[in-house]
Amino acid sequence: MNWKSNSGRNVFVGGVFAALMSTSIGAQADGIHRVEADLETMQAQIRELQREVAESKKAAKKDNDLKVKWNGAPELSSKDGNFKMKVRGRLQTDYNAINQDRAITGSPSVSAMELRRARLGVQGTVWGDVDYILEADFANDAVSMKDAYFKYTGWGKHFAIQVGNFKTFNSLEHLTSSNYIEFLERASFVEAFGIDRQIGIGLLLTDKHYTLSAGLFGPTTGTEETFMRDVKTGSARLTFAPINEEGRVLHFGGSWRYREGATENRTNINPNNDQFFRYRARGADLHLANRFVSTPQIFDQDNFWGIEAAYVHGPWSIQGEYTQLHADVSPLFNGVDSTYRGWYIEGSWFLTGETRPYKDGAFQRVKVLNPVFEGGHGAWQLLARYDVIDLNDNASLIATCTMCGNQNTWQLGVNWHLNNHARLMFNYNQSDITGGNVGATNVNDGATIKGFGARAQVDW
């Protein structure tokens, strides 16, 4: 009786325990499913957070899409290269000592310093295919606009359209930057024939071995408010470099320019309404010298053409140009149309082994092999030039100028490039004058103008 009773109780207890265990196991299974669901939810949330973090990083990277490098001055650009901006400028401080042969010319000697150029501006690229330059010159307390243009290059890397204020397409000497020309001043015909920047539009086709450029131009920035007329100038230039490699260049070129003055007043001479040209050059090819050869300001049209050649072989270089300008006298004056000439030949030698880089039909920045700041001796260059400007054609038939003048100039120079962006320049120049006057009879005939020039230059 008792055994049976105990057995029944055990069976009952076992049943209860089995029921509890079954319930517990079911509950645990439900809990495991809930945990698995919770884990899956957490994993989904983690994946979403990871995606949001990745997108945030991409956005932050895009927002900070800026590269900075040093290229003479800080240059900022987007990482894709579609946007660029760089501060640019140059500072050239000159000293001139000039004996102007006072006994003949009546002009005193010169011993003076000047800021030859003090330029500041910006250049860059927007949207990948529009380049721009804006630069002004602040030298000698006078502000003048220099390069101020944009260039569209979206139709191919060799073709561009250029609009704004820029150099007309004439002369190797003119189109080589003042940062890279070999002497303090360009050959005398550049200033004498009025080759300069003008406001206009140009088309440029460039390749490693040739360039072709042509443009239509209006006034210069200094006269745009006075002579607001239709297009007055056309120019074009073609260059060919059958050899163009580092340290070895053979260059040929030719250029043309037609220019017409603005003539508002056909009955009375009025300088405020009419634009007339004259041609003149500074003695000894130095900027602070007087002008001893000069024509009267009576021409209203001119036609310029020039040919050019250059050869670079390692540290040796030679270049030259021959130019002519035919000038038409305005009907408002008594005179005869004239043809004037200018030419030069120059050679140079780097004692330290550098060479003259060349690109797009002009010479570029010299790369110094051993800069001074690295403990080197810099780049030393010796140079010589013979420069001629002849303004005597038909001079005796112009009432105010019996011999407008011929100037032959010998020049010797030494350039010391401290690094790629700084150099010291020293020139000794001597000009012999034949004729040369406006309003008197051969007042400068036989004069010899001797001058020394020095320059400290830095550009960025």
Helix (H) or strand (E) holding 21: helix 2-63
pLDDT at 10: 55
Q: Is residue 388 part of a domain?
A: yes
pLDDT at 291: 96
Looking at the fold, whether 285 and 388 belong to one and the same domain comes out as yes
Other C-beta atoms closer than 10 Å to the C-beta of 384 total 15
Using CA atoms, how far residue 379 sits from 148, 185, 236, 419, 460, in Å, is: 32, 20, 35, 8, 18
Looking at the fold, whether 316 and 219 belong to one and the same domain comes out as yes
Looking at the fold, whether 401 and 254 belong to one and the same domain comes out as yes
In the listed set 64, 92, 119, which residue is the last one of a domain according to the structure?
64
CATH number at residue 245: 2.40.160.10
Q: Is residue 76 part of a domain?
A: no
Domain that holds residue 34: 1-64
Residue 404, exposed/middle/buried by CB under 10 A (0-12, 13-18, 19+)?
A: buried
In the listed set 64, 96, 118, which residue is the last one of a domain according to the structure?
64
Q: Is residue 317 part of a domain?
A: yes
pLDDT at 4: 46
Cα dihedral 31→35→37→41 (10° resolution): 150
pLDDT at 42: 76
* DSSP per-residue string spanning 305-353: EEEEEEEEETTEEEEEEEEEEEEEEPTTS----EEEEEEEEEEEEETTS
Q: Is residue 69 part of a domain?
A: no
Looking at the fold, whether 225 and 192 belong to one and the same domain comes out as yes
Mean pLDDT per block of 10 residues along the chain (460 residues) reads 50 51 56 71 80 72 74 86 94 98 96 97 95 95 93 93 98 98 98 96 97 94 65 93 97 97 63 80 98 93 98 98 96 90 98 98 98 97 98 84 92 98 98 86 90 98
Q: Is residue 35 part of a domain?
A: yes
Looking at the fold, whether 60 and 165 belong to one and the same domain comes out as no
Looking at the fold, whether 229 and 329 belong to one and the same domain comes out as yes
Secondary structure of residue 146 in the 3-state scheme: strand
pLDDT at 3: 43
HSE (side-chain half, CA atoms, 13 Å) at 180: 20
Q: Is residue 441 part of a domain?
A: yes
Looking at the fold, whether 107 and 150 belong to one and the same domain comes out as yes
Looking at the fold, whether 284 and 379 belong to one and the same domain comes out as yes
Both tokens assigned to 79: 């990482």
Looking at the fold, whether 58 and 88 belong to one and the same domain comes out as no
Both tokens assigned to 207: 């390749």
Distance, in Å, from the CA atom of 327 to the CA atom of 220, rounded to the nearest integer, reads 19
Altogether, the residues listed in the chain come to a count of: 460
Q: What residues contact 167, with CB distance under 8 A and at least 6 apart? A: 147, 174, 175, 196, 197
Q: Is residue 316 part of a domain?
A: yes
Looking at the fold, whether 56 and 96 belong to one and the same domain comes out as no
pLDDT at 64: 64
Total domains present in the chain: 2
Looking at the fold, whether 119 and 160 belong to one and the same domain comes out as yes
Looking at the fold, whether 19 and 57 belong to one and the same domain comes out as yes
Q: Is residue 212 part of a domain?
A: yes
pLDDT at 2: 46
